[in-house]
Every structure is written in C-alpha cells, then in structure tokens.
C-alpha cells in the first residue's frame, strides 16, 4: 500500500514543521 506510506510521510513532515515553528 504505497498510498498509506505516502500519507504517513506527509503526516510526519507536517509534525516536523510544527516542531520547527516552536
């Protein structure tokens, strides 16, 4: 399931962005 993997990667990237803003 590459779709789930891509969604997981995007989700992780968004979390990283939130941490960088802090």
Exposure class string for 1-22: b at 16+ Cβ within 10 A, else e: eeeeeeeeeeeeeeeeeeeeee
Q: What integer pLDDT is reported at residue 22 of this predicted model?
A: 77
Of 22, 1, 21, residue with least CA distance to 9: 1
Backbone angles phi, psi at 2, to 5 degrees: -75, -25
Q: What integer pLDDT is reported at residue 5 of this predicted model?
A: 96
Tokens of 19: 């941490």
Q: What integer pLDDT is reported at residue 2 of this predicted model?
A: 83
Tokens of 3: 């779709």
Please tell me the pTM assigned to this model.
Answer: 0.45
Please write the tens of the pLDDT for every residue from 1-22: 689 999 999 999 999 998 888 7
Whose tokens are 């941490």? That residue is 19
Q: What integer pLDDT is reported at residue 21 of this predicted model?
A: 81
């Amino acid at each position: 399931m590459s779709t789930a993997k891509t969604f997981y990667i995007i989700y992780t990237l968004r979390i990283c962005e939130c941490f960088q803003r802090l």
